[in-house]
Structure 1
């Protein structure tokens, strides 16, 4: 009995109040049936009267006639109505607290197959926009320590406030069930500090979930190798990529707009790597290019291990372990 009481006390307060209110109404409903069997011919009629009386609706279809019945009705109103009112107040409070916790990044995410993005900046904003536009059912978990509330009202964007290198924060993001994690650089800090925080977050992610595919953004060239040593599956060196785009614009004016259009998936131009199908293995780059062109797929190059050959010799043979660099809609 004592264990049962202790177990009951560990339940959420709103559940305990609801159970006590139901118990009071049921007890009074049974008692009124015994006190006035002619007025309340069944247990259900008694319980119905108790519920209506407690909720202060008062239909008047069942009314106690005796002094004992009226006294029970007074006790029911004083006790039962208090329990029921408290329940609805607690329920409303719980709802508001849950909603505020969701907006303020205090609520844990319970889904799976989601994308985790660490750091809030303009790059993150654009990535989330593209993801939610291309894959409306894809959930994005945004982890950031500087935001005060979720910048999105979209149900598919869940905000977790906190430092990404803390295990408790990663657990709130349900890291073990995630599909991929992206760590962006904090450009409010100097490049060295930003890259150190990025690698620290990467170590925390890989320490908790070594098999998770991770993409990290680094600013300094010297930190690329450190990111790879920490387990990054892909390293994006922002400064180098930006410099290359600028250089192309110097050499060929207007190239920056062309590159952005090529990389913008919302425009229908998908630059991507695809696996080599069995029927394509052993074909030359020239023959495979002609074959894919009939399917409106442009073959740009071949990725062999860590090396990517863009516009390789026409007689290069495609193997099953290769990946194809293509443009496809």
Structure 2
């Protein structure tokens, strides 16, 4: 025998519905009811039921157009009752509507609203590097981007001139990542937590990476690692790209020691190469088995400078001129 399905009483469904919708429903019923009554009480002044409903709406909204006015004592008593009851409902409705709007706006700023989009970029952790990255993206990207920021330390959205959806919470927890809709994200960037020691910050990054990959194994992840000891662990955890911040800084310092003033030169060079000017491209069929020198001369005519070759995961910068281009190689080029 089939088990009878339990139906939730209409009363409980009504109680659980948003209060704004309940008040709006009462206002509609109230206006229809009073509009119908006034039509039958004064049919000459209100020839149609619609005329009565129109008068009821105008009255409760305190607009007072005066195109329909009750003239009898009974009609005016009905109008008084409508004003006393209906105006209160309408005022309450708009007050609550405004209150809910403010609550939603505050919830968005405070990171309490779930992100519903997809193919977005998720940035985990807030620091000045993230701020600068967003500023650079705003300059070089012409089309709007969907960016979600996850951070536990911020009280509200830290930047207002760039459209960002903020999620407040610990990024190692699945429910926080789900609030950012990680399963449908395109790219996830995990930055190092500057409030922690370097080793602890790297461990937190790797745990976050594992959580992200657990929810979306195919998402492209870029992680910031501070200590060389955790590079292998980040790779094992599934990082698609690892940025070694401390090593990059040490290279700049070494070059500045060996050649004074090099740090400013490197910064200007990187500033000119920001965006898609420095990129990897797949080797075309006509490039196969040519030497690096032949390819260098050929692409220079197209205003493209080849500065390296990526082969089997290793990037060779400025390889020997007689290096032969092979299948599955990728070219590191600078576009003009």
Quick check: TM above 0.5?
Answer: yes
Calculate the TM-score normalised by the size of structure 2. Answer: 0.91
CA RMSD of aligned residues (A): 2.0
Alignment pair present for 1:324 and 2:331: yes
Q: CA deviation at 1:214?
A: 0.6
Deviation of residue 278 (structure 1)? Answer: 4.0
- Decide whether the 8 Å contact of 2:308 with 2:331 is kept in 1: yes
| 1:55 and 2:88 correspond | no
Deviation per residue, 1:74-131 (Å, 9 max, x gap): 2211222111111101110011101111111111222222211111111111111112
Which residues in structure 2 correspond to 1:300-319 (within 5 Å)?
A: 300-319=307-326
Kindly provide the CA deviation profile for residues 263-295 of structure 1, in whole angstroms up to 9, marking residues without a partner as x.
226867822222233443443322222222122
Is the 8 Å Cα contact of residues 138 and 162 (structure 2) preserved in structure 1? no
Contact 1:218 1:237 (C-alpha < 8 Å) held by counterparts: yes
Q: What CA distance in whole angstroms lies between the structure 2 residues aligned with 1:77 and 1:305?
A: 80
Cα separation, 2, equivalents of 1:291 and 1:90: 69
Q: Secondary structure at the residue paired with 2:123?
A: strand
* 271 and 32 in structure 1: CA distance in 2 versus 1, 3 angstrom threshold: same
Does 1:123 pair with 2:106?
no
Relative distance call for 1:28 and 1:13 in structure 2 (3 A) is same
Cα deviation 1:42-79 (Å, max 9, x = unaligned): 12211110011001111221111223322221221122
Is this contact kept in 2: 1:262–1:269, CA < 8 A? no
SS at match of 2:267: helix
Which residue of structure 2 aligns with residue 273 of structure 1? 280
Give the structure-1-normalised TM-score.
0.93
d(CA) in 1 for partners of 2:100, 2:272: 41
Unaligned ranges ≥5, structure 2: 1-6
Matching residue of 1:134: 140
Q: Are the equivalent residues in 2 in contact too, given 1:281–1:318 (CA < 8 A)? A: yes
Alpha-carbon deviation of 1:305?
A: 2.4
Is the partner of 1:124 in helix, strand or coil? helix
Superposed CA offset, 1:10-42 (max 9, x none): 332212211211121122112211221110111
Contact 1:134 1:266 in 2 (8 A): no
Structure 1, unaligned stretches of length 5 or more?
Answer: none
Could you tell me how far apart the structure 1 residues matched to 2:76 and 2:225 are?
77
Shift of 1:9: 3.1
Q: 1:202 aligns with which of 205, 209, 212?
A: 209
* Distance in 1 (alpha carbons) for counterparts of 2:52 and 2:286: 76
Q: Distance in 2 between matches of 1:10 and 1:153?
A: 35
CA distance change for structure 1 residues 17 and 322 in 2, over 3 Å: closer, same or farther? farther
Corresponding residue for 1:154? 161
| Equivalent pair of 2:140/2:275 in contact (CA under 8 Å) | no
Of 92, 102, 114, which residue of structure 1 is paired with 2:98?
A: 92
